[in-house]
């Protein structure tokens, strides 16, 4: 069975690369390309592909999450959405899955993993990148760590630059006492007790601004 694909990404170069990649794989056919969320919904309605390969961060208009919600709500419910993005934050993953996405893949995946995920999505089976699967499991177990605030992310960024508390306070126009308070909260949320540990976890989880 040939899996019919609709690509949705607002970068023409990315779409061209995916078109070339998918065109080399037997049993997968790209039937359309969309450069926006609205276009993806309209083309999915017209073409009724098996899978829409959906980026989350699109240009002006509706984003990939809303486009996913509209596509999966089409009559018949036969169009699956496989998110393909560079973002794997808890918020992005949760919103996409709640919107009805069958799978969530990162653009860093190997081609063979993308092909396998497309075939799984076409059959209605969940397809998740390993980092994404771990996040989902953490949420299910109730072990997901609280999200950092914007100010905590700012301070984490300064930590990564090697700045001390006084330098961070000056850079962000806050007091040293406030910096220490935020650091305590950051350590607790990341499950660490040192500055080096906080930076290491932040890099691992892509939390740095």
Those residues whose C-beta lies under 8 Å from the C-beta of residue 62, and which sit 6 or more positions away, are 36, 37, 38, 41, 70
The pLDDT tens digits for 120-149 are 999 989 888 877 776 665 655 455 556 788
Q: Are residues 73 and 165 in the same domain?
A: no
Q: Are residues 125 and 187 in the same domain?
A: no
| Helical packing angle, 176-190 and 195-204, nearest 10° | 50
The pLDDT tens digits for 35-93 are 999 999 999 999 999 999 999 888 788 999 999 999 999 988 789 999 998 876 767 78
* 209 domain-assigned: no
Q: How many domains does the chain have?
A: 2
Strand order from edge to edge, sheet including 3-8:
28-34, 3-8, 51-54, 80-85, 103-106, 127-128
pTM of the predicted structure, to 2 decimals = 0.65
- Residue 205, φ and ψ in degrees, nearest 5: -95, 5
CATH of the domain at 108: 3.40.50.2300
Q: Are residues 29 and 120 in the same domain?
A: yes
Q: DSSP code of 207?
A: -
Q: Are residues 34 and 106 in the same domain?
A: yes
Q: Are residues 49 and 103 in the same domain?
A: yes
Domain that holds residue 154: 150-204
CATH of the domain at 192: 1.10.10.10
The pLDDT tens digits for 4-46 are 999 999 999 999 999 999 999 999 999 999 999 999 999 999 9
């Amino acid at each position: 069975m040939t899996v019919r694909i609709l690509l949705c990404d607002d970068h023409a170069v990315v779409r061209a690369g995916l078109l070339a990649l998918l065109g080399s794989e037997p049993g997968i056919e790209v039937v359309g390309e969309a450069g926006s969320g609205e276009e993806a919904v309209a083309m999915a309605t017209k073409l009724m592909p098996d899978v829409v390969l959906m980026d989350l961060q699109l240009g002006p208009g509706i984003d990939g999450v809303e486009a996913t919600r509209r596509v999966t709500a089409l009559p018949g419910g036969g169009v699956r959405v496989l998110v393909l993005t560079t973002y794997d934050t808890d918020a992005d993953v949760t919103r996409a899955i709640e919107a009805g996405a069958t799978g969530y893949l990162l653009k860093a995946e190997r081609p063979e993993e993308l092909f396998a995920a497309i075939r799984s999505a076409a059959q209605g089976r969940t397809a998740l990148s390993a980092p994404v699967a771990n996040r989902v499991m953490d949420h299910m177990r109730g072990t997901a760590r609280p999200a950092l605030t914007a100010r905590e992310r700012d301070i984490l960024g300064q930590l990564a630059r090697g700045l001390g508390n006084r330098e961070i306070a000056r850079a962000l126009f806050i007091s040293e006492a406030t910096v220490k308070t935020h650091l305590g909260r950051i350590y607790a949320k990341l499950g660490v007790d040192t500055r080096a540990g906080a930076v290491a976890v932040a890099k691992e989880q892509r939390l740095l601004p």
